[in-house]
Chain A
Amino acid sequence: MREAILSALKLMVVVFVIALSIAFIDLRWLEPMRTPPCDQAKVAKGHICLSTLLQDWNNKIIWIDARKQDDVERHPFTHENSYPIRPNDTNALDLMNQAMPAIMGAQDEGQCIVVFCNRDCTSSDAVANELKKPEYEIEAPIFILEGGWDELKKDKSLVP
């Protein structure tokens, strides 16, 4: 009887140690690398989850790529309705001018405007804030893609 209890206790300790190790590895190393699923109810105001975007707007989307030029060259986004606007490049206004016919015509075409960058990049905010300035009178909705390029590249129909 005593041996049986001891064996059970040993087993419990082993299971506990294994569980503890797994939990520690998960919390310390795996969790930061894992991208949680985007929850539209929890994202910041003006942000949109890719799933919501594709469901609500299908392909009525003007994509604004605010990533750095190096990133764009390494991982191009070749969608026909995409335009680069990089707020820190000296040609930012030229890029914006190239995108403006599409951006200003978006409302008439029933399209929305979606700005994306890399996950922790703030260029999306800078571009979205610029486009939302009242003087441009852009009536189409302007969103920032939650998770940016990291989310976009998961969808093989958008990034083959």
Chain B
Amino acid sequence: MNITLHSLFLSASALLTSVVFAADLSFDQPIVPVKVAEGQDLISAEFPFTNKTKTPITVKSIKVACDCTSASLNGDKKVYQPGESGIVKTTMKTGNFAGITDKTLTVKTDQGETLLTIRADIPEIVVMTPRKLVWKKGSTPKPQVITINIMGPKPIKLTKVGLVGEDFEYDPVVIEPGRKFQITITPKSTTQSAFNTICVETDAPMVRDSKKASYLTIK
């Protein structure tokens, strides 16, 4: 009797598993790469899908991973018949960090869930290098140079250069107006450990390009 019950339970579990994890909506491209243009704050992406199963599928929710992303179904349609197609439309704020950024959303249906990703390639227009300058404690307080290059087609001005801390002298110079700047940093002394931040503000329209910082350490 135990064996019979066990077999029955296994069969039931297998049946249940097949019901719960039945094939879901088929997305053409679950990861959509988007190249972000200079000054672009919002990007959009579309995720076309088709119900390739033999039963209707109801989209229950689309959960976005951050409040910088919104998502909706084309025409707000929820139920998709076998063979029917639809589109998940998303909009994403590009945020304050340049580089490759993934934003995800999860489409939950009555058959399961699918993770979708917008892979945004956000350009760095104002490039400040190096971001970390180090002087050894007790060494000669030699000047070091930070360079700021404008990589976009439009010229950008430095509107403010400031130091958080008081352990360094700094001297900003325009090398090529709108394109290249340099800041020479010199420690006042290297006898004691210190951590200061040199902050730069520009007239670039995007927050990620309008403020930059490099970190100065004596250790």
Which residues of A come within 8 Å of B, CB atoms?
Answer: 8, 12, 15-16, 19-20, 23-24, 27-28, 68, 87-90, 92-94, 96-97, 100-101, 104-105, 108, 120-123, 125-127, 129-130, 133, 135-137
Complex contact A16–B5 (CB within 8 A): yes
A136 to B1, CA, bound (A): 67
Question: Can you list 30 contacts pairing A with B, beta carbon distance less than 8 Å?
Answer: A12-B4, A12-B8, A19-B9, A20-B16, A23-B9, A23-B16, A27-B17, A27-B20, A68-B67, A87-B96, A88-B66, A88-B95, A92-B97, A93-B96, A93-B213, A100-B197, A101-B195, A108-B219, A120-B63, A121-B65, A122-B65, A126-B95, A129-B99, A129-B101, A130-B97, A133-B131, A135-B129, A135-B130, A135-B131, A136-B215
* Contact status B65-A19, CB under 8 Å: no
- Partner among A28, A121, A129 whose Cβ is within 8 Å of the Cβ of B66: A121
A125, B102: Cβ atoms closer than 8 Å? yes
Contact present for B9 and A16 (CB under 8 Å): yes
Whether the pair B1, A8 counts as a contact (CB closer than 8 A) is yes
CB atoms of B197 and A97 under 8 A apart: yes
Q: How far is the CB of B36 from chain A (nearest CB, A)?
A: 14
Bound CA span A152–B4, Å: 45
Closest to B99 in A: A129
A123→B197 contact, CB < 8 A: no
Identify which of residues 144-194 in chain B touch chain A, using a CB-to-CB cut-off of 8 Å: 164
Q: How far is the CB of B34 from chain A (nearest CB, A)?
A: 15
CA distance A88 to B66 in the complex (A): 9
**B95, A27: Cβ atoms closer than 8 Å:** no
B13 interfacial contact with A, CB 8 Å:
yes
Contact (Cβ within 8 A) A89 B96: yes
**In the bound complex, do residue A19 and residue B101 qualify as a contact, i.e. CB atoms below 8 Å apart?**
no
How far does the Cβ of B8 sit from chain A's closest Cβ, in whole Å?
A: 5
Task: Check A129/B95 contact, CB under 8 A, given A19-B12, A97-B197, A122-B65.
Answer: no
Q: How far is the CA of A127 from the CA of B16 in the complex (A)?
A: 41
Evaluate contact between A24 and B96: CB separation under 8 angstroms. Answer: no
- Please give me the residue from chain B that is nearest to A28 by CB atom: B20
